[in-house]
Amino acid sequence: MTDMIQGSIVALITPFHEDGSVNFEKLKELVEWHIANKTDGILVLGTTGESSTMTHEEDDSVVACVIETVNKRVPVIVGAGSNNTATMLKKSIDYEKMGADQLLLISPYYNKTNEEGMILHFKTVADAVHIPIILYNIPGRTGCSISEHAISVLSKHPNIKGIKEASGNMSYAMNISRYLNDDFVMYSGNDDIIVPMLSLGSSGVISVLANILPEQTHELVKKYLDGDTKGSLALQQQYLDLIHALFVEVNPIPVKEAMNQMGMNAGGYHLPLTEMSEDHKELIKQRLEEAGLL
């Protein structure tokens, strides 16, 4: 599966048992549920998947489980990023061998680097693998943004096929939209601005919301791409308060809390992530009730 996805790509959570171990049975169940509910692609080991709190062995086991369970029914994107380019390169090669359809690669957090280093960080992996790469721009997490110049260079690489734009900066998104074409696409990384990002030419969203509303998130994007922009906007507005609640604390704490309240048994967290405040739990409950999910 090398075609770039149009639609809703779920940034899949990683469910845990009470002892903190990965709940693989629940993970398989979630994959089947997403496929049955029109999710267009599955991202594993994204920010929402808590890979930054898991061991490399846990990462590899989760990837293997998802790829095997999906069995080529929808594309699987694997987050293989690191602030260490050599580590990112090894993970990317390993995940390609394991059967990943695409890779999501983040900018080098903490290190930050200069312009040339930023370009080489991604180019090193793009030169070594044979599956599509999606860049991941999320400066709120990394402390560094992928510059417009770097996008102009990287978008021309035959293996770099897209960007997950999660800065929330519509001016930046507008500027890089000039580099979109059949060979380089953009995905919204923010659920609260899916429709505005689609208006700039995005192909869809890599979504936290889709963990609890997969079919509705799929429909939101499909309506827009089919020309029903008013219907798409209405869905965006309908779920806006819920979306905001899912980010009242750092992702993925609120979405796992929402899933647990819905009886989906997402489990807890790995430190430094932990339970959210009681006030915020009540807010999640209220928003789920308003959305008809409780």
3-state secondary structure of 52: helix
The token duo for 169 is 């900066």
DSSP string, 208-258: SGGGT-HHHHHHHHHHHHTT-HHHHHHHHHHTHHHHHHTTSSSTTHHHHHH
Q: Which residues pair with 186 in a beta bridge?
A: 163
Which one from 95, 136, 172, 239 is the annotated catalytic residue? 136
The 10 Å CB-count burial string (b at 16+, else e) for 245-279 is: bbbbbebbbbbbbbbbbeebebbbbeeebeebeee
The 10 Å CB-count burial string (b at 16+, else e) for 111-138 is: bebeeeebbebbbebbeebebbbbbbbb
Across the chain, the runs of DSSP E, i.e. the strands, are 7-11, 41-44, 76-79, 102-106, 133-137, 160-165, 185-188, 204-207
Which one from 91, 123, 161, 164 is the annotated catalytic residue? 164
The token duo for 217 is 């998130």
Residue 181 is classified by DSSP as B
136: annotated active-site residue: yes
Selection from 26, 53, 39 nearest residue 253 by Cα: 53
Residue with tokens 């370009």, as numbered in its chain: 119
164: annotated active-site residue: yes
Is 208 within 8 Å of 255 (Cβ atoms)?
yes
Positions marked catalytic = 136, 164
